Every structure is written in structure tokens, then in C-alpha cells.
Chains A and B, each alone.
Chain A
Amino acid sequence: MSKRRRHLFRQALIQATLIILSVFFMLPLVWMVVTALKPIDETMTSPPVWFPSKLLWHNFTEAFAYNSKDLGYIPFLVYGKNTLFVTILAVIGSVVSNSLVAYSFARIRWRGRELLFGITLATMMVPGPVLMVPMYALFRDFGWIGTFRPLWVPTFFGSAFNIFLLRQFLRTIPMELSEAATLDGASEWRTFIDVIVPLARPALVVIAVFTFLWAWNDFMGPLLYLTDQQTFTLSMGLQFFQSQHTGTPWNLLMAASLIVVAPVIIVFFFAQKTFIQGIATTGMKG
């Protein structure tokens, strides 16, 4: 009985903490939603207006209204399609390449491994801006400026962050599992596919989610390498609301931001379930 009560008390405590914290974490989203529905002269006021005098749902259509004659802000379908294209390729490339490379770094002993891994880590420590000029020159020499290729081709060759992350995860899997598979006559490839990949599913999902987010929100890449309005991505579109002389339509900017953020939130909502079932599917370990 007392154990049951202790359990209930614990549950209540956890729920209370979660709810209080949620208020703080929800803040940006709530604020964006409210702002997106306001008339312009009620945005960004102090003290804040939490309940708009009227709800302007047409802010959403206005933010994305676009035709060649009367230019709106963002041609959502075109930019959405471009963003999706780059993002899907990047996610596929990233999951495939990084799992292979991390497997090599974490679970195969070979000469030069530690050196290469050290170099891999070190590449992250050079600040990005000093690499921008030579990167640009490189992609220009490839003839890739103005195409999506600088944005997704490199993801098929691994990235230091993801390699490091996956390596840390793969190293927590007991070595005996691989040895057992080898004794059973499995090749390195079969061990990787049949033993390691299923066990590493939570981590692979993390990689997929991060890559999705990164590619979806990437601003610098498209900014530097795309040269045609028809190939722009949504994150670039969000910059279209800031202006030099004519003021920023905060309500439309927030409406557009919400639409851009929504798919990401949905993807995350479904992906996080994989984190829960980690143990269930990998019960064979330990």
C-alpha cells in the first residue's frame, strides 16, 4: 500500500515538474502563434498584448501569397519542394555514410584509426568563416554553384559531428556480440547490418533527426551557393520579411516561421518514439 502511495506521489511530482518546465519551453511557440494572428500594430508592444483584439487568420495566407505579378513574400510550394529535396537527400546520405564510418572507428581495429579519428575531431575546431572562401572556390571548380549539390553531396561522405556521436554509441555495445557473430561465420558486413545497426537504432534516429533539422534550417549554405530565386529554400524565405526602409511585418514573419517550423516539430514528435522503444527492440543485449 505505502509502496503504491509512494509511486503515486512520485508520479505527481514528475508530472508537476514537467508541466512547470513546459511553460518555459512553450514560450517561444506560444508567442509566435499569438504574434502570427495579430494585426501589425499590436505586435512587439510593451507591455505585451497576449490577447489580440482580433484574430487575423489571413496573415498565414498573406505570408505565402505569391504570384509573379504581385509579389508576396514566399512561394511556399516551390521553396518547400526545394527544401524537402535537399533535406531528404541529406538525411539518407548522412545515416548511410556516418553509420559505416562510425562502425569502422568504433568496432574494427586497424592501423591509422586513432590518427584519422583525431583529425576528424580536429576538423570541427576550425571556425567555419575561415573555410568559406576556399569552400566556395572548390564548389565553383566543380561547377556546382547555382545547384543543390553543395548542400547535399557532402552528406554522403560523412560529417565529423555525426561520426563522433555514433562512435560513442557504438562503443557502448559489448564487443562479445560482434565476436559471437564472427564465430558464427558472419562477414563484417553482415555483422554490421544484422547485429550493430538494429542495436544502434536510437542513435541512428538521432542522427537522422539532427540531419533533418540541420538541412531544413540551413541558411548559410543556400545563401552562398544558390543563385536562382526558383531554387531558394524556406529558411532563406524567412529572411525576406526583414527590410531596409519599409519596416518588418512581424505578424507575417511569425506566421511564415510557424509554417516552416511545423514539419520539423511533427517529424520530431514521431521520431522521439524510437528513443522509448530502444530497450524493447534491443533486449538481446547485456
Chain B
Amino acid sequence: MVAGVGKGLTSVCIVAAGLVALIGSERAASRQTNADRVVVTYWEKWTGDEMKAMKQVVDSFNASQNRIEIKYLSISGIAEKTLLATSGGNPPDLAGLWSDQVVQFADAKALFPLDDMAHEAGLGEKDYISSYWKEMTYHGHLYAFPTSPGTSALYVNKSLMPPEFDSPEKFPKTLSGFERFIAKVSKRAPDGSLQCAAFLPRDGFGSGSWPYMFGASFVDANGPSVNSADNLKAWSWVHSFALRFGVRETQAFRSGFGNYSSPQNPFLSGKLASMMDGPWFGNYIRLYNPKIDWFAVPLPYPDGRPDLEGYTVLNLNTLMIPKGAKHPKEAFEFIKYVQRQDVMERLCTSQYCNTPLAKVSEGFLRNHPNKFIRLFDRLARSPRAVGPVKLGIWSQISQEVGNAVDVMDLGQATPQAALDHAESRLAEQWANYRKQVLNQ
């Protein structure tokens, strides 16, 4: 028995040694590509159907010429991995990051400016919807090109609407009208619990950007500014939902949210009459509850402020070339290919998005799987379309403000006190960022 174990261990060691010897071949096996083609590595966050859509673009590009081969790689945690690989000196040639990352990466000088190559290719401001163009640039330089974008609008469950609100034309356009809608459509059960909420402002795409709807913003000339009078108005409005439905009640209702992309989503299960989201939400409806009869409308604007009409929050997926990429020229060839109107529209159709391009074909709008795509496209072109704040601490700003609203909703502090607290933390963080990253 005892000797047996000894022998067993010895044979295990021999097997181990054998396997280790095998490793030598492991690397060679995974590297078989056409020797005469430049291989461009492309990291993208998409998987599943979204990956399929982009893979088709990649395949057609690879087939369209014989010089460059794009190697598509699905990466979860793409921002972290790109950060590490870039700092380690071997980044991918193309990174499919969000436009949110343009500022942080550019501030760290980790992106390849694309101005010259874009100029050479004849791509410029005129080709893009201007609010998306703004997201691609920073301090006068171009750092990213778009893939699929998005805008936010209000999805409305028609079957829960009384006749006075049951079409896009009749749905209220101003905040006071919206308040009437909330009062009318929200329902309580006999025991007092919330049965149907007309609207809840803290869920769905764009739920962190309310100050813009009231004409405020998160920044002023000196950096982050989150406690101005207009900011307070905006977040007090958000907080009012917790007050009017009851703090505990809204929470019980919101904890019913569980998962956004599931049949349990309260809009999809008929517990929430309207919800703010991007064009892709049309696909969630198709997937999880196609029986819902819905329409989409723009978000309301404050009474007496028609200049604020057309407010929407932008989303933008992009292609960037990290500093240290081995084949920036070849990578740009692919970027250029994706910017072709037919290619872009095909990609955006299969990803349920609108287009970032200034030119849009009638076929795209007519055949798009989201029946309200014209609204999302129109909103993207609105002067009131807003993207991420162009400060390197944008993710801190959204975290601090989100936490401040949590604090008000839980009744731990007044809206003013909660925002003041966020403001003071952000002031510190901005000072730090300026000192440490921008060397100011």
C-alpha cells in the first residue's frame, strides 16, 4: 500500500513532465494565419447576437481585400483588460470601448489621435450627427469612431393608458401634463400597496442624467457642479417619486425589478406603465413579452421652457486605437469600412440601434426592427441631446450623485444636504485629478 503511493506519485511526476513537454507545441498551434496578411487584433465587448452582427461586418471586410485580416475577440471586462494590456505595452489594434472612456484614455495619452488618417480618408464632422461627433472628439482631437449608438425615449404601454393618453400625439409633452399622467395612471391595491406605477425615474437607460431635462448640467467653468438650484430641482423631482409612492412602497416595488433584461422587468410584466430606454429596448419587448402594445415618445420638458424640448441621453459604442497598437494604419482601414453607410446601417439594424451617421437611408428607417426608430433618430439630431460629461471623473460624478439620491430616498438627508455632500467630495476628486493626471 505504502510503496504503491510512492510509485503513484512517481508516475504522476512522469505524466506531469510529459505534459509540460507538450506545452511547447501549444503556442504554435494557435497561430495559423495567412502569412502575407497583416493581422489586426480587435477587442470588442459584444457576445451572442451582437457579436454575430459585428462578425458579419468583419468577415465581409476580410473578404473585400487581401491585405488585412481582422481578428475579432469577444472580451468581457473590456475596459479593464484594455487598460492592463495598454499599460503592459501590448494593446489590441482596435478596442471597442464606450465613448465614456474617450476622456480618461485621452487624458492619460493612451489613445492614438485619428485626425490625420480621418482627414486623408475624407471623414469629418459633416459625416456625423453633431452630438455624436462631439463624443468622438476631445480638446480638438479626434480619438474615436462610432459603431452602434443610442438615444433615450419614453416607452409607453398602450393598454395601460386611459383614452386621453393612448397615442404619441395625445401623450403629454410638458412636465405638468406628465404629472397628470402619473396621477391618473398609477394605481394602488385595496391594501394600499402599489399595483401599477406610471413611471419611475431611477431605472432604464439615461436615468442618471435628469438635470439636463431641467436645463442644468453636471459641470460649470470650475469643474463638477452638482448642487446648483436647477440640479436640486431635478433631483427633488426624482426624489418626489419616492415621496408620492411612499419611500418603503417604491422600494418594495423597485426591489421587484430584479433583472432588467428579463420578463420580470416591470414594464414588460405590466407593472410599470412607462419606462425610459434606448432603441434596443424594442428587442427586449420582442424577446420577453411581444404581446405588449406600445409606443414611444420624447421625454417631457418643463412648462414654459419649449427651448428644452427634445431632451435625450446619448449612448455611443466606439472603435479606438490604443497607443502602442502595432498596426494603426491597417486598423484604420477597418474603421473606415465600418463608417460606410451601408455597412453601418446593417450593423445598427442588427443591433437594434439608430445610426450615428448624418446621412440615413429611407430603407434603414423603414425596415428597422424598432418601429419607432424615426423617433430615436430624430432625437439624436436634437440640440438637446446630451452625452457623458467631458471630465475624466465622469464615472465618479455619476456614482456620487446616484448615491446622493439613494440617501434622499432613504430619508437619511435632505436633497440639498445630500447634493452638497456629493459636491464637496467631487470637488476634492476633481482637484486630485487635475493635480495627478492633468498636472495642473
* B162 part of interface (Cβ distance < 8 Å): no
Is the pair A243, B47 in contact by a Cβ cutoff of 8 Å? yes
Query: In the complex, what distance in Å separates the CA atom of A194 from the CA atom of B317?
Result: 62
Given A133-B87, A137-B88, A96 contacting B19 (CB threshold 8 A) = no
Q: Say yes or no: A44-B263 contact (C-beta < 8 A), given A239-B47, A241-B47, A243-B48.
A: yes
Contact A245 B287 (CB under 8 A): no
Q: In the bound complex, do residue B258 and residue A194 qualify as a contact, i.e. CB atoms below 8 Å apart? A: no
**Bound state CA distance, A159 and B41, in angstroms?**
34
20 extra A-B contacts, CB within 8 A, seeds A136-B87, A197-B6, A240-B48: A44-B258, A44-B263, A45-B269, A71-B51, A96-B16, A136-B84, A136-B88, A194-B2, A227-B73, A229-B72, A241-B47, A243-B49, A243-B261, A244-B317, A245-B148, A245-B283, A246-B48, A246-B283, A246-B287, A249-B48
Mask, B71-94, CB within 8 Å of A = 1, is 011111100010011011110000
Residues of B near A193 (CB, < 8 A) are 5-6, 9
**What are the residues of chain A within 8 A of B351 when measuring CB–CB?**
245-246
Cβ of A46: which chain B residues have Cβ within 8 Å of it? 256, 258, 264, 269
Report the 10 A-B pairs with minimum CB-CB distance, sorted nearest first: A44-B262, A245-B280, A240-B47, A239-B76, A246-B49, A193-B6, A92-B16, A247-B287, A247-B261, A140-B88
Q: Does A41 belong to the interface (CB within 8 Å)? A: yes
- Contact in complex: A145, B88 (CB < 8 Å): yes
A40 touches B287 (CB 8 A): yes
Most buried by A among B48, B72, B73: B48
22 contacts between A and B (CB under 8 A): A43-B262, A43-B263, A44-B264, A45-B263, A73-B47, A89-B19, A95-B12, A136-B85, A146-B27, A149-B23, A195-B2, A197-B9, A201-B5, A223-B75, A228-B30, A241-B48, A242-B47, A242-B48, A243-B47, A245-B148, A245-B353, A248-B259
Complexed CA–CA distance, A228 and B41 (Å):
9
- Most chain A CB within 10 A, of B47, B81, B289, is at B47
Chain B residues 158 to 175 lying within 8 A of chain A, measured CB to CB, are none
Task: Flag whether B284 is at the interface (Cβ < 8 A).
Answer: yes
Contact with B along A138-160 (1 / 0, CB 8 A): 00100001111100000000000
**What residue of chain A has the Cβ atom nearest to residue B41's Cβ?**
A227
Asked if B41 contacts A198 (CB within 8 A), the reply is no
A41-B289, A140-B89, A229-B73 given as contacts; is B258 within 8 A of A243 (CB)?
no
Where the two chains meet, the residues of B that have a C-beta atom closer than 8 Å to any C-beta of A are 1-3, 5-6, 9, 12-13, 15-16, 19-20, 23, 26-27, 30-31, 41, 45-52, 55, 72-77, 81, 84-85, 87-90, 148, 150, 256, 258-259, 261-264, 269, 278, 280, 283-284, 287-289, 317, 351-353
When C-beta atoms are compared, the residue in chain A nearest to B56 turns out to be: A71
Pairwise interchain contact B262-A246, C-beta atoms closer than 8 A: no
Q: How far is the CA of A220 from the CA of B352 in the complex (A)?
A: 31
Q: Smallest distance from the beta carbon of A211 to chain B beta carbons, Å?
A: 13
Interface residues on A, range: 35 or more
**Given A96-B13, A136-B84, A249-B48, A45:B27 Cβ within 8 A:** no
A132 contacts chain B at the CB level, 8 A cutoff: yes
CB distance from A237 to the nearest CB of B (A): 9
Considering only CB atoms, which chain A residue lies closest to B84 in the complex?
Answer: A136
A265 → chain B, closest Cβ, in Å? 24
* A11, CB-defined interface residue at 8 Å: no
Q: Considering the chains assembled together, what is the distance between the CA atoms of A52 and B7 in angstroms?
A: 53
Q: Specify which chain B residues have a CB less than 8 angstroms from the CB of A202 in the assembled complex.
A: none
In the complex with contacts A133-B87, A145-B90, A244-B45 CB distance below 8 A? yes
**Residue of A whose beta carbon sits closest to that of B283:** A246
Q: What residues of chain A lie closer than 8 Å to B288, measured between beta carbons? A: 40-41, 247
Interfacial residues of chain A within 19-68, with CB under 8 A of chain B in the complex: 40-46
B50 touches A246 (CB 8 A): yes
A224-281 interface (Cβ within 8 A of B): 224, 227-231, 236, 239-250, 281
- Is A75 an interface residue when CB atoms closer than 8 A count as contact? no
Contacts of B256 in A (CB 8 A): 46
* Residues of chain B contacted by A223 (CB below 8 angstroms): 75-77, 81
Report yes or no: B26 in contact with A247, Cβ–Cβ below 8 A. Answer: no
Residue of A nearest to B48 (CB): A243
The answer on a CB contact under 8 Å between A245 and B5 is no
**Complex partner residue of B16 from A93, A137, A198, A243, CB under 8 angstroms:** A93
Give the docked Cα–Cα distance between A147 and B27 (Å).
Answer: 6
Q: Output the least CB separation between B411 and chain A (Å).
A: 27
A41-B263 CB under 8 A given contacts A245-B280, A247-B287: yes
Contact status A198-B55, CB under 8 Å: no
- The answer, yes or no, to whether A165 is at the interface (CB within 8 Å) is no
The residue of chain B having its C-beta at the shortest distance from the C-beta of A46 within the complex is B264
Q: Counting CB contacts under 8 A, is A209 at the interface?
A: no
Chain A residue with Cβ nearest B20: A89
Instruction: Say if the beta carbon of A88 comes within 8 Å of chain B.
Output: yes
Report the bound CA distance from A44 to B81 in whole Å: 31
A197: nearest residue on chain B (CB-CB)?
Answer: B5
Q: Which residues in chain A, 69-90, are within 8 Å of chain B measured between CB atoms?
A: 70-71, 73, 88-89
